[in-house]
Amino acid sequence: MEIYADILFFVNVISTFILLDLTARLRKVKVKPKRKLAASLAGGITAVFAICFYDAGLLIRLAGFFVIPASAFGIRKAEIIIFSAMSFVMSAVFTAIDTFFEFKEVYVSNGILYFNIPIVRFILVFSLSYAAIVITVHYIEKYRSEKYKRLKITVGSRSVTVKALVDSGNLLKEPVSGLPVIVCQWDRVMSLFDNIDLVEFCENVAGFKIRLVPYKTVGGKRIMCAFYADSVSVIDDKRMLCGAYIGITKNKLSDTGKYSALIGAKI
């Protein structure tokens, strides 16, 4: 295959840019555009040198694993490792594809990618790849940001275990005592009260020591019924809360049923 230096350079500048951007997103760090551009250009130059000086190509490529991310992020161990690992994986994937499908348009040597395809198709492929990476990282970050805790709620001699989403937006407190309020679906705690109807439960204020907790929604101010739990333990952390009220709702908190309670991040 004939290899054109300009295409080789351009392909690896773009692929390096994508890997740098992905690394920055995963590490949640900001990189100045000038540094990212400089590092991407270094990736293109490394690719050309690795092919031109074939015998030393592997050493040049290994040096690039350090120089390129260091140019963008500085000498930071985590970013260098992540960038290098993703570069290795990308090269391995393309090598496997090339070996299995025998694509004549793709050439991989010393971890350097070369596509002998029309420039328009190349831009389209990498644009779609970049979009896919951004979407994937977005959902990975969203999943990682969702933290759950298993709670054991006890009233008298009865207990239930619920899965709660750690919600930084849940700042509810019982007005008189100032104790935090854990929001929970009624169907998950009704067994603590002989499975009575929610309306009947809320009407028996004195019998169940109910407190009314005001809260705000998009529709305006509302009132939530809450009961005091004799004990609430966070099973995952093996700790007992000093005291908490359980605010009840008849609505499903999770469309997928992944959790049935909301606990404040500061609890």
Are 152 and 132 found together in one domain? no
Asked which of 115, 144, 173 is the last residue of a domain, the reply is 144
pLDDT at 143: 62
Kindly state the tokens that stand for 135. Answer: 């979407």
Tokens of 24: 């920055």
Same domain, 92 and 189: no
In terms of domains, do 181 and 114 share one?
A: no
Of 109, 144, 179, the last residue of a domain is 144
For residues 51 and 57, the answer to whether their CB atoms sit within 8 Å is yes
Domain boundary among 144, 171, 187: 144
Angle formed by the axes of helices 57-73 and 77-101, nearest 10°: 140
Percent helix, percent strand, percent coil in the chain, to nearest 5: 50, 25, 25
- What gap in Å lies between CA 44 and CA 220, rounded to an integer? 56
Question: Which pTM does this prediction carry?
Answer: 0.49
In tens digits, the chain (267 residues) has pLDDT values of 455 566 778 878 888 888 888 888 777 788 888 898 899 898 888 877 877 776 776 787 778 778 888 888 888 888 888 888 777 776 666 666 555 555 555 555 555 555 555 566 666 666 666 676 667 666 666 665 568 899 999 998 999 999 999 887 788 999 999 999 999 999 999 999 999 998 888 888 888 889 999 988 777 788 999 999 999 999 988 889 888 999 999 999 988 888 999 998 777
Which parts of the chain fold into alpha helices (H)? 5-27, 33-52, 57-73, 77-101, 119-145, 186-189, 198-203
Domains contained in the chain, number: 2
Claim to verify: residue 187 and residue 236 sit in the same structural domain: yes
Nearest to 25 by CA among 118, 133, 187: 133
What are 217's two structure tokens?
A: 């929604």
Which structural domain, as residue segments, surrounds residue 30?
5-144
Task: Tell me what pLDDT residue 186 has.
Answer: 95
Residue found under tokens 């090339």: 98
